[in-house]
Structure 1
Amino acid sequence: MSINRISIYHLETLLWIDRLGTFSAAAERLNTTQPAVSARMRELEQRLGSTLFRRDGRTMSLTPAGRKLVNDCTPLLRDMQLALLGSGGFNEASGVVRIGAGEIAAASCLPPFVAALKAEMPNVALEIEIDLTANLIQQLLTGRTDLAFAAGPIAHPALRTSPIGEVALLWLANPAVAALFERGTGEQQVPVWSLASPSPIHGRMREAIAASRIAQKSLNLCNNARMMIDIARAGGGVGIFPEPMVRAEVAAGALVELAGLPALAPVEFSVAMRVSDTEPVLTRIFDQAAGLSLTAG
């Protein structure tokens, strides 16, 4: 065994392959190419004198030797990272952290959270992607993101989660459209807007619309809450909106709440990361995110 020829990047690459499941996903996470990852693993196997991967056609899995090496090296690399951070603190931490968030989190707790994070970790580059919850969870599970702020309770054995508050949903329209409802006229003609089906809020919206006096044929779908808000402001219909995203419009009187429509239960939000991620920087960011209050905004 040529242990003096084994580098940290060999072991780090092995751990990322184990966490993300494929060479290609590990290559993307490490900002390198799949051939480079394959080369590192060949070198590691040659220098250890052990076969780490079992290849069966196009699939690949760890051998018992590979699994033991992953289990043994995971705490060692974590302790090394902690030791390095202990000498310089998180102020000297570096790397890339990918954060996924839904529109509601992006419009409320995320901006001040990111600002505080950059103040503590100025050398950590952040990549932020706004998407629907279903996509965010999939990206988190496949390693395309490291942390996700998502709607709805999240239950998955591969994910560590923490609730960060609830958001109220409001029936809103601009004053002219709201006046039609006040007079009890126009409900059957005015368009109503809901988030599209990939959103966990969609089902709740559909149930509320079905229980209201609004005609089902008036229902329109959109996958962008900000666009729905702008449509309602312009008099294009009634919408069901997350309260943090419409605070300014409601305060200015551009949108008003509609009376006499079914109440809507608030939507729970959580922050999530992979259980297998034990890097101190990611753990630190998750712990800070878990202390947020999206309700307070």
Structure 2
Amino acid sequence: MSINRIAIYHLETLLWIDRLGTFSAAAERLNTTQPAVSARMRELEQRLGSSLFRRDGRGMSLTPAGRKLVRDCEPLLRDMEQALLGSGGFAEASGVVRIGAGEIAAASCLPAFVAAMKADMPHVGLEIEIDLTANLIQQLLTGRTDMAFAAGPVAHPALRTSPIGPVALVWLASPRVASAFGDGGGASVPIWSLASHSPIHGRMREAIAAARVAQKSLNLCNNARMMIDIAKAHGGVGIFPEPMVRAEMARGALVELAGMPALAPIEFHVAMRVVDTEPVLLRLFDEASRLRVAQIDTGQ
């Protein structure tokens, strides 16, 4: 065994393969290539003198020796990271953190959170991706993102979650469309909803059924901001997250429709993988857990 030739990056790579399940996912997380990850693992096996992976056709799994090495080395690397942060503090932390968020979080609590994080950890790079909840959770589980701000219930044994509050939903239209809608012209007014894999879409379907609005009037859009602009241009009625339309309602550009079915709020959560124990990610998750998604930073 050539233990003096084993580097930290060999062990870090092994841990990310175990966490994410594939060499390609580990390569993406470590900002390298799959051939480089494969080469590191070949070197590690050669220097340890034992096989760490079992090849099953196209699949791959850890051998008992590989699982033992992961179990033994994970706390050692975590302690090393904490020791290094202890000497320099989080202000000296580095790396890249990938954050996924829905439009509602992006328009409310996320900007202030990102600004505060950059002030505390100026050397940590950020990659932020805006997407729908179903995609955010999938990206989180596959390791493409490290943390997600997602709508709806987030329940998965591989994820650690914390609630960050509800967001109210409101029926809105421009004053002109609202007046026509109230005068009995609802059958001819377009109804707008987010795409079918959005939690708001489910609320919309239930509300349309309760309001007896013609299903043929329903139109879909995968961008809430576009829906808001369509409603402001007198293009129809929609159900919107209140934080995103607060300014339009204050100006009177959009008004609430009277007599429409009540809408249950959408709960939001911040989530990260249970297996991620890096101090920087745990610190960010702790800070994110204190957020309230319905609050908007107005100090701009």
TM-score of the alignment, normalized to the shorter chain, above 0.5? yes
Trace 1:18-97 onto structure 2 (pairs within 5 A).
18-97=18-97
CA positional deviation for 1:179: 1.2
Matched residues, number = 296
Q: For the Cα contact (< 8 Å) 1:187–1:213, is it kept in 2?
A: no
- State the AA in 2 paired with 1:215: A
Residues 160, 272 of structure 2: 8 Å contact kept: yes
Asked if structure 1 preserves the Cα contact closer than 8 Å seen for 2:181 and 2:189, the reply is no
The residue number in structure 2 matching 1:161 is: 161
Counterpart for residue 197 of structure 2: 198
Hey, what does 1:257 align to over in structure 2? 256
Is structure 2 residue 146 aligned with structure 1 residue 129?
A: no
Q: Which amino acid aligns with 1:54?
A: R
Distance 2:295 2:229 in 1: 24
**Residue 142 (structure 1) aligns with:** 142
Retained in 2: the 8 A contact 1:171–1:257? yes
Any unmatched runs of 5+ in structure 2? none
How far apart in 2 are the matches of 1:19 and 1:260? 51
Give the corresponding residue for 2:103: 103
Q: Quote the Cα distance in structure 2 between the aligned partners of 1:49 and 1:217.
A: 67
Corresponding residue number in structure 1 for 2:284? 285
* Residue deviations 1:1-55 (CA, integer Å, cap 9, x gap): 1111100000000000001100011111111111111110011011111110011
Question: What is the CA–CA distance in structure 2 between the aligned matches of 1:191 and 1:181, rounded to whole Å?
Answer: 10
Looking at structure 1, the residues matched to 184 and 287 of structure 2 have their Cα atoms a distance apart, in angstroms, of 49
- TM-score computed with the length of structure 2 as normaliser: 0.97
Alignment match, 1:7:
7
C-alpha RMSD of the superposition:
0.8
Looking at structure 1, the residues matched to 140 and 202 of structure 2 have their Cα atoms a distance apart, in angstroms, of 23
**In 2: Cα distance, 1:236 partner to 1:213 partner:** 20
In 2, distance between residues paired with 1:112 and 1:143?
Answer: 25
Opposite residue 96 of structure 1, the aligned amino acid is V
Equivalent in the alignment of 1:208: 207
CA contact (8 A) 2:148 2:270 kept: yes
Which residue number corresponds to residue 116 of structure 1?
116
What is the Cα deviation at residue 197 of structure 1? 0.5
Partner deviation per Cα, 1:167-219 (whole Å, 9 max, x = no partner): 0000000011111233x321111111011101122111111011114222111
| Contact 1:161–1:273 (8 Å) recurs in 2 | yes
The structure 1 segments of at least 4 consecutive aligned residues displaced by more than 4 Å after TM superposition are none
Secondary structure class of the residue paired with 1:27: helix
* Alignment check: 8 A CA contact 2:192 2:237 kept: yes
Q: Which residue of 2 aligns with 1:171?
A: 171
8 A contact 2:169–2:240 mirrored in 1: yes
Correspondence for 1:266 = 265
Distance 2:56 2:195 in 1: 41
| Deviation (angstroms), 1:295 | 2.6
Unaligned segments of structure 1, at least 5 residues: none
1 CA distance for matches of 2:28 and 2:181?
Answer: 53
Does the 8 A contact of 1:250 with 1:256 survive in 2?
Answer: yes
Q: In the alignment, is the contact (CA less than 8 A) between 1:134 and 1:198 conserved in 2?
A: yes
Aligned counterparts of 2:38 and 2:121: Cα–Cα separation in 1: 32
